[in-house]
């Protein structure tokens, strides 16, 4: 269930306003072949003049924006005004692009990004050696991957990019929720670890080893925790019920602990958010006991996942996909040699450790041109709201005033626009 809550958080992070792109500049529709052989479509927005121009390819996050959404979020007219071309394309299944909106893996999204570069690189109005990527949230991870694989990426700019594997990013978000309510230390570790296991049980997945729990449990040197991991690793479609029964039997011993009981509050917060995402959970055939029991928790998680899996909501694929084996972004970041600018918000609590991780990687690889900047008071979308609750496209109105000038000056210093 942590995964369910985290997907809600991820999807809520970068929801840009729809409608026509807010641009006064000329644009060209361009189609190209995506990773799955489908046709992807986008708009190349060009500055005034003949060019050729340096260019930026925009990459949205996990919400899979259309071309207008990511263009508006990035305030891309500011780039065009300074003499840079901007290519924004519809995510698969959005706008004029074919394909499955939620079925793209990181590998496929990386191939899409490199294909987008190729689609504009041969144009006479584009400087082929000056095309970079601008990736937001998950799009930042895609920018890392693409830059590590191809010299066609002249530079990379990332906004709030995860610097740990997907499941660890899930942990960080859950940890943030729990820490804000006062849970810390080993109780917090146990809650996060236990939640990972219940997610794996609900999925019917035996990929618990892929999300690095074994090391944590070994440090506790508790045979009961080791037994839980062993159960999940060995589960299959044949023995799912017996696995859950054995899991519940072991977990009963923790039912009276504070960290265990907090699972109930987490799930109570998730249900209305999931309903906002289009999942009908009104007739959910499961309830959480008061006080919470291991049996009702496991049955509740399984019932929720079953309802989501059966839903025709476009979010169902994202919510149920088993992404446990997504690679560590650091693996790719270590191979990035192009100029790189990584930006984070100081108030983006679950990403608070990522700037240091990125800086340490660049230091270890002796990267020649890297900048990591943390904006004080800014959140995941680099918004500064001073506690005011804002949603959707409104976040752009609250963007930290120094973000766009920094990005513009950083690019122009390295890739001057055509006069």
pLDDT band with cut points at 50, 70 and 90 for residue 276:
low
Q: Who contacts 116 (Cβ-Cβ below 8 Å, separation ≥6)?
A: 32, 40, 42, 57, 87, 89
Q: For the whole model, what pTM was predicted?
A: 0.75
Instruction: Kindly tell me if the per-residue pLDDT of 11 is higher than 60.
Output: no
- Closest C-alpha to 133, from 107, 114, 118: 114
pLDDT score, position 320: 58
Question: What domains appear along the chain, each with residue ranges and CATH number?
Answer: 2-165+326-414 (3.40.50.1820), 184-320 (no CATH)
- pLDDT on residue 17: 38
| DSSP per-residue string spanning 261-317 | HHHHHHHHHHHHHHHHTT---TT-S----SS--HHHHHHHHHHHHHHHHH---TTHH
Burial group, residue 354, by CB count within 10 angstroms (0-12, 13-18, 19+): buried
* pLDDT at residue 404 is higher than 80: yes
Q: Residue with structure tokens 């236990």?
A: 194
- Residues 279-305 as b/e (b if ≥16 CB within 10 A, e otherwise) read bebeeeebebeeebbbbbbbbbbbbbb
| pLDDT tens profile 56-107 | 999 998 777 889 988 888 889 999 999 999 999 998 888 899 987 666 788 8
- Determine the Cα–Cα distance for residues 357 and 206; give it in Å rounded to an integer: 29
pLDDT of residue 19: 39
Token reading at 185:
């230390």
Cα–Cα dist 321/178, whole Å: 25
Q: Tokens representing 295? A: 């049996």
Distance separating alpha carbons of residues 127 and 144, to the nearest angstrom: 21
Give the pLDDT mean for 115-137.
96
The average pLDDT across 344-354 equals: 86
Rounded mean pLDDT, 238-254: 89
Q: Which tens digits make up the pLDDT trace of 181-238?
A: 677 888 888 888 888 788 778 777 665 554 456 677 878 888 999 888 888 877 766 6
Q: What is the mean pLDDT of the segment spanning 149-166?
A: 92
Mean pLDDT of the chain: 83
pLDDT at res. 342: 98
pLDDT recorded at residue 348: 85
For residue 376, give both structure tokens. Answer: 């004080």
Higher pLDDT: 125 or 99? It is: 125
Average pLDDT over residues 309-338: 73
Residues above pLDDT 90, as percent of the chain: 43
**pLDDT, tens digit, 9 for 90 and up, residues 95-109:** 899 987 666 788 889
């Amino acid at each position: 269930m942590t995964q369910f809550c985290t997907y809600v958080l991820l999807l809520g992070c970068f929801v840009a306003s729809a409608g026509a792109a807010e641009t006064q500049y000329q644009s060209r529709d361009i189609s190209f072949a995506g990773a799955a052989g489908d046709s992807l479509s986008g708009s190349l927005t060009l500055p005034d003049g003949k060019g050729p121009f340096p260019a930026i390819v925009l990459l949205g996050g996990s919400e899979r924006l259309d071309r207008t959404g990511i263009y508006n979020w990035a305030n891309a007219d500011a780039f065009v005004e300074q003499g840079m071309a901007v290519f924004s394309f519809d995510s698969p299944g959005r706008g004029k692009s074919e394909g499955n909106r939620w079925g793209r893996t990181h590998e496929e999204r990386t191939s899409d990004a490199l294909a987008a570069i190729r689609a504009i690189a041969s144009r006479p109005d584009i400087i082929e050696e000056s095309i970079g990527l601008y990736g937001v949230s998950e799009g930042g991870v895609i920018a890392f991957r693409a830059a590590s694989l191809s010299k066609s990426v002249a530079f990379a700019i990332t906004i709030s990019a995860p610097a740990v594997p997907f499941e660890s990013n899930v942990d960080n978000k859950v940890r943030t929720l729990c820490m804000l309510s006062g849970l810390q230390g080993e109780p917090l570790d146990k809650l996060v670890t236990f939640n990972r296991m219940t997610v794996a049980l609900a999925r019917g997945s035996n990929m618990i080893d892929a999300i690095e729990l074994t090391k944590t449990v070994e440090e506790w040197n508790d045979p009961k925790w080791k037994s839980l991991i062993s159960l999940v690793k060995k589960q299959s479609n044949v023995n799912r019920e017996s696995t859950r029964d054995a899991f519940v039997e072991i977990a009963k011993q923790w039912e009276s602990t504070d960290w265990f009981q907090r699972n109930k509050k987490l799930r109570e917060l998730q249900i209305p958010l999931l309903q906002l995402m289009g999942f009908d959970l009104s007739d959910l055939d499961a309830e959480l006991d008061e006080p919470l029991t291991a049996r009702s928790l496991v049955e509740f998680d399984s019932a929720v996942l079953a309802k989501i899996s059966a839903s025709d909501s476009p979010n169902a694929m994202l919510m149920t996909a088993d992404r446990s084996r997504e690679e560590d972004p650091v693996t790719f970041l270590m191979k990035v040699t192009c100029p790189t600018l990584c930006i984070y918000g100081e108030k983006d609590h679950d990403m608070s450790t990522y700037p240091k991780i990125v800086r340490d990687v660049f230091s270890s690889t002796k990267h020649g041109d890297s900048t990591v900047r943390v904006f004080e008071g800014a959140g995941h979308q680099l918004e500064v709201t001073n506690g005011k609750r804002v949603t959707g496209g409104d976040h752009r109105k609250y963007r930290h005033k120094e973000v766009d000038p920094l990005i513009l000056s950083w690019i122009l210093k390295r890739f001057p626009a055509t006069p």
